[in-house]
Amino acid sequence: MSHIGALSGITVIDLSRLLPGPYCTMILADHGARVIAVEDPRYRDRGEYVFPVYRNKSHMTLELKSDAGREIFFKLVSDADVVVEGFRPGVVTRLGVDYTAVSRVNPKIVYCSITGYGQTGPMRHAAGHDVNYLSRAGLLDLMGEKGRAPSIPGIQMADLVGGGMNGALGIVMALFHRERSGKGQHIDISMTDGMLGLLPTVQFFQALFGTEQKRGETFLSHRYACYNTYETADGRYLSVGAVENHFWQNLCQRLGKPEYGPLQYDETRREEIIAFMRERFRQKPLDEWENEFRGLDVCVAPIRTVAEAMQDPLFKGREMVSTTNQTTPDLGVPVRLSETPGSLRTAPVAFGADTDRVLDELGYGEAEIKALREKGVV
């Protein structure tokens, strides 16, 4: 088995900040790409450095508004394969580091722009964050309990999926196209587009049932007892995901209610069955239910806290959690390739830690680097 990642030999210059772009380039770095994160030195002390997504990367400071800073940037991109940026549309053009400018220096460059609302359209300049993108795309309206306000998810779905994952996917596709054509291209990633793109099942169920999917009562969100969450005797919760009837019948049999087996999606008995399940699951604590269902084909799972998930033998056995970092457990690489596996090679890098080293590689001497630092360029 090779220990060279699938993207070994690819160099990425990452101009983005916070979460979407850095998560995108973390995926690329995990699979062997050399990622040089470039950030304005003024952000050093803002407390906005999401350090876990800077594993396997280098990080340097650079002021792109200065002529000297842009000169360094163009030296970096002249031999790079990918540029990632997360500014609002128009900012990179004003800075003189947009796709057109970069492609003149390096025609093979793959240039990925990640924004909230995209490079075109009536909202391209609007400000926003994860909750706004979920709202605009209709997803937030589906999250939470019936009759209550929509619930904001505990993770940043639009940032991580709509921005980070879609960005990484677009980059890999563009690199594949470049292998065949020799041409780079510009990638326009809108996080709000990405969220709207997560609606195929909603469209399917609306067509299937002829009714609009509503918060807390969609086919796969609390409407039926077979796909629901339940409180246990100790105030914990478990999830039931018995969509197929044989799973549901196994569950009903175990709970002493085999007569509910054929009534899985019976609208006239729906609330009765949910009420029974709620009452039944409150009779035992979570660990007893875990033991009772262990080894049975029932699609039941304990609802873990994040701390518990980090200790779960499932993830330790899958090498998705390691404890080499004394303060925060390291998350593993979820995309598993047999011949070119991803890997955790270096711990998250400190802000600006590689500035001198990268400048040295570009041919800058010690005195030049000192002068750049004194001028606030790096």
Evaluate the CA torsion angle 18, 22, 24, 30 in order and state its sign: negative
Structure tokens at 87: 């500014």
Among this protein's residues, is 360 annotated catalytic?
Answer: no
Q: How many CB atoms lie within 10 A of CB 72?
A: 24
User: 166-181 and 20-30 helices cross at what angle (nearest 10)?
Assistant: 50
Sign of the alpha-carbon torsion through 122, 124, 128, 129 = positive
Can you tell me the distance from the alpha carbon of 194 to that of 117, in angstroms, rounded to the nearest whole number?
A: 10
Query: Which residue in 81, 130, 159, 193 is the catalytic one?
Result: 159
CB-CB neighbours of 265 under 10 Å = 16
Give CA–CA dist 253/228, Å, rounded. Answer: 18
And the tokens for 224? Answer: 């039926």
Q: Does the annotation count 159 as an active-site position?
A: yes
Per the CB < 8 A criterion, the answer to whether 86 and 115 are in contact is: yes
Burial 97-110 (b: 16+ CB within 10 A, else e): bbbebbbeebeebb
What DSSP designation does 329 have?
P
Q: Point out the catalytic residue in the list 129, 177, 186, 222.
A: 129
The catalytic residues are 129, 159
